[in-house]
Amino acid sequence: MTDVLLVVDMVKGFLEPGHNLYCGDAARRIIPAVRRLIEAEHRTGSQVIYFHDTHRPDDLEFRMFPVHCLAGSRETELVEELGGLPGEHVAKARYSAFYGTDLEQRLAVLKPNRVTICGVCTDICVMHTAADARNRDYEVTVRLDCVASFDAEQHRWALRHMQKVLGVRVAGGE
């Protein structure tokens, strides 16, 4: 059994200024910590899987959020600071990394002792991925220094919710 690190939406569309859903300068500050986490997890033999928010032009999500991360655009690419690191890359079209992907099957094969989640947005994609992992009875850790969101208040709420309601272990410094 191996541990698994899920890197959620560390893509240009959320982490480079000028894009419709730029998470802000505060979110960019997690990039070095995310890089260190990926490197550390890889050294210990963890499977690293990157999830890239990727949408079709007619995606119904655009009724709620502005157009972002269109398939084939630069917005779906991993930020440069994380380029060249080991791991597999998976496109996802909804909040949870489980929805419409083969993550459930991958985890069934890997049988991880622990699933660690990092990335953006804490209160949207990170939280929904954590909820789906917990609903499948995985032990889940979210690294506090490796998650961020658009809204600091919602970020804090999501961390409390994941910890107190979902049973996620929230670890690391902020």
- pLDDT greater than 60 at residue 79: yes
Dump pLDDT digits (tens) for 2-32: 899 999 999 999 999 999 999 999 999 999 9
- pLDDT greater than 90 at residue 1: no
User: Collapsing DSSP states into helix, strand and coil, what is residue 19?
Assistant: coil
- pLDDT greater than 80 at residue 173: no
Dump pLDDT digits (tens) for 111-170: 999 999 999 999 999 999 999 999 999 999 999 999 999 999 999 999 999 999 999 999
Select from 3.40.50.850, 2.20.25.90, 3.20.80.10, 1.10.10.10 the CATH code of 4-171: 3.40.50.850
Domain boundaries defined on the chain? 4-171
Burial 20-38 (b: 16+ CB within 10 A, else e): ebbbbeebbebbebbbebb
Dump pLDDT digits (tens) for 50-67: 999 999 999 999 999 999
Dump pLDDT digits (tens) for 26-42: 999 999 999 999 999 99
Per the DSSP assignment, residues forming a β-bridge with 52 are 91
- pLDDT greater than 60 at residue 174: no
Residue type, 58: D
